[in-house]
Structure 1
Amino acid sequence: MSTASSAPQRRPGGRTARTRASVHAAVRKLLAAGTTDPTVREVADLSGVHEVTIYRRWGSMETLLLDVATTQLNEEAPFPDTGDLRTDLITWASAVVEQLHRGEGFAFFKAMATAMSPAFGGAPEADRQHATDYLQSRLAQIQRGLDRDADQGGHPPTADMVLDLILAPLYLRALWGYAPHTDIEELVDRALAAGHSCK
């Protein structure tokens, strides 16, 4: 029997994928239940995955939260693609508001902020890179929507305007405990008007 035929074949996903899914599900469940700072021990108990395995795979609870955050945000709130920029921005911003005012959504925001901002004491380089990759991916999604609108004869805002005029007020309200911004359309229209005025 040849070496190639006797070597075990790695199945796509396999145990690693199942472990990641179980751990992610446990983190989301803990956050949804109101646990603001879950521990590796709590995640291990709930997921059935040994603490040593969690530490080996993620290294720290902060890194695990960041991994769950970027995965969840990509799955739950991708930038829409309806063909109408205003509708896309309103739908996306509304999803952001909904996430930020759930316990787990705010925890994900905190994980991203901790990884990206030196004000939070500085995260490991791998965490900063992970958060940067996520943000670059999200910005690319937004930019495609803006470019599509421009190709159709529109005058879209820049991606920076979208971040400054739509996203930043939503995050600021969540950070300081203000009531959620109820007039998403006002924020979106302000950004669209800013884009039009620059043309």
Structure 2
Amino acid sequence: MKKSEKFNAAIDLFDRANAEDPNREIFEGKEYAKELLYAQRMTDRLAIFSPDTDEALQLAVRCQHIRRWEIPRDQYDMNRVGYLKWRNDLKVFHAEKAGEIMHEVGYDDQIIEAVKFLLLKKQLKKNDLTQKLEDVICLVFLEYYFEKFSEKYSEDKMIDILRKTWKKMSSKGQEAALELDYSDHSKALITKALA
């Protein structure tokens, strides 16, 4: 399906914004801006998980972490309350940034609000597109970030994280998660978490 000029312009500006991330990640021998690589992984996973999906979801997936580094976690209390406040502030920040870029390339208010609705994770478990976004987020986390994450935390903490991740996913998302390629260490944690 041919993408509109507006869509391509928005994706380009999302990517340019994320290319400014000072945090770097090496993947398959190449260095990337961390949030740009994340955005590309999100789009790639959506294409596998739900190839014929809504334009608003395709846009939301690409900008879900837009300029995330501008609101660092360490600016908040290092406890559950601080974490939840940080996550909520990020959602609002991402929705606003995405809306500004979409407005700039000529999208109307209706689709801008649809993308913001998704980025704010409204009606999770009730809205099909919000749920698909959450499934893609969880799948990308499990595929690319879980293993490294598990090196930093205790087994009990990782099992708790896995159970919370699993709960957020649809049954289709859970099925897709079980088909991912994991290390033996990650497989063992997942088996324990789901037991």
One fold, TM greater than 0.5? no
Q: Which has the larger radius of gyration?
A: 1
TM-score, normalised by the number of residues in structure 2: 0.30
Greater fraction strand: 2
The TM-score, its normalising length taken from structure 1, stands at 0.30
